[in-house]
Amino acid sequence: LVSRKKKSENTIVDIKGEKVGNGQPHLVFGPCAVESYEQVATVAKAVKDKGLKLLRGGAFKPRTSPYDFQGLGLEGLKILKKVADEFDLAVISEIVSPSDIETAVDYLDVIQIGARNMQNFELLKAAGQVNKPVLLKRGMSATIEEFINAAEYIMAQGNGQIILCERGIRTYEKATRNTLDITAVPILKQETHLPVFVDVTHSTGRKDLLLPAAKAALAIGADGVMAEVHPDPAVALSDSAQQMDLNQFDQFMSELSKSALVR
Ligand code: PEP
Ligand code: MN
């Protein structure tokens, strides 16, 4: 169903009026994790001031260590909803459990399925049964074929509003957190009719590479770019080293605008 052979026109995913996949790049920013109303609202204001519409923030955090901050859960979704309503933004957040999918529909504009859950088939099926866009991230060890099949699981249940997101894969290279598989973008665009985003934060894990990676993503045909922004990364409860602060966010946006890759 996701194959370009089945449908030649691009799928356009409508997120609160934002038409993702329409040829204009869409940029998604926000903190790694929702920590408080003030924290999310601060980033939301910065996003809004730049004329952007899409805000991300994790409420359920799939952390490598069980002793690390696991996210605010439902409380986090409530904060995101409040901020989305106040700032007229669309919010994207990860759901990790099939039983939370129904609840998420009431709070979120896009359900994110994270790299670690790309082959959580019950979660994929549950996300396929609701009427809500899904941002599906590539598993860190998933082949492109496995990634496409994961999207197929969602669409096979009836939900065709899917955005694919390349977020880097695990290789022997240690210079970056993951290895950004940039050619996955045109391959996914050729093989499927779905919009494709690139997460420059989790793929590189390096602030100095966010801008060049974003330029590369847009130049190679990505429909959008995602990056993490936190009001005070030094005290962030997750991914402290790689989130942009608000000044870096300003700089990132002005440099990206100069590149003529965005409007
Ligand atoms: C995230 O986007 O918050 C995240 C945890 O990313 P990934 O699933 O790609 O690691
Ligand atoms: Mn993160």
Per-residue pLDDT of the chain (263 residues; tens, 9 = 90+): 999 999 999 999 999 999 999 999 999 999 999 999 999 999 999 999 999 999 999 999 999 999 999 999 999 999 999 999 999 999 999 999 999 999 999 999 999 999 999 999 999 999 999 999 999 999 999 999 999 999 999 999 999 999 999 999 999 999 999 999 999 999 999 999 999 999 999 999 999 999 999 999 999 999 999 999 999 999 999 999 999 999 999 999 999 999 988 87
Alpha carbon distances (Å) from 110 to 32, 88, 188, 218? 16, 14, 20, 21
> How far apart are the CA of 114 and the centre of ligand 1, in A?
5
Nearest atom within ligand 1 for CA of residue 137: 9
Residue 212: per-residue pLDDT: 98
> How far apart are the CA of 138 and the centre of ligand 2, in A?
14
Please give the ipTM for the structure prediction: 0.99
Three-state secondary-structure class, residue 169: strand
Nearest residue by C-alpha to atom 10 in ligand 1: 115
> How far apart are the CA of 2 and the centre of ligand 1, in A?
23
Q: Distance (Å, rounded) from C-alpha 221 to C-alpha 112?
A: 21
> How far apart are the CA of 32 and the centre of ligand 2, in A?
4
Nearest residue by C-alpha to atom 6 in ligand 1: 114
- In the DSSP assignment, the letter for residue 107 is H
Nearest atom within ligand 1 for CA of residue 58: 3
Domains for the chain: give ranges and CATH numbers: 13-258 (3.20.20.70)
Q: Which residues contact 76 (CB under 8 A, 6 or more apart)?
A: 33, 34, 57, 58, 59, 60, 93
Q: Which of 136, 218, 196, 166 is nearest to 12 (CA)?
A: 196
Burial 207-241 (b: 16+ CB within 10 A, else e): bebbbebbbbbbeeebbbbbbbbbbebeebbbbee
For ligand 1, residues with CB inside 6 Å are 32, 58, 94, 114-116, 137, 167, 199, 202
Which of 120, 137, 165, 239 best tests ligand 1's pocket when mutated (most atoms within 8 Å of CB)? 137
Which of 34, 134, 167, 237 best tests ligand 1's pocket when mutated (most atoms within 8 Å of CB)? 167
Q: Distance (Å, rounded) from C-alpha 67 to C-alpha 160?
A: 36
Q: Distance (Å, rounded) from C-alpha 144 to C-alpha 146?
A: 5
- In the DSSP assignment, the letter for residue 258 is H
Tell me the HSE value of 64 on the side-chain side, using a 13 A CA sphere: 3
pTM above 0.90, yes or no: yes
- Which ligand has an atom closest to residue 115 CA? 1
Residue 262: per-residue pLDDT: 87
Q: Which residues contact 126 (CB under 8 A, 6 or more apart)?
A: 98, 99, 101, 102
> How far apart are the CA of 182 and the centre of ligand 1, in A?
17
Residue 260: per-residue pLDDT: 84
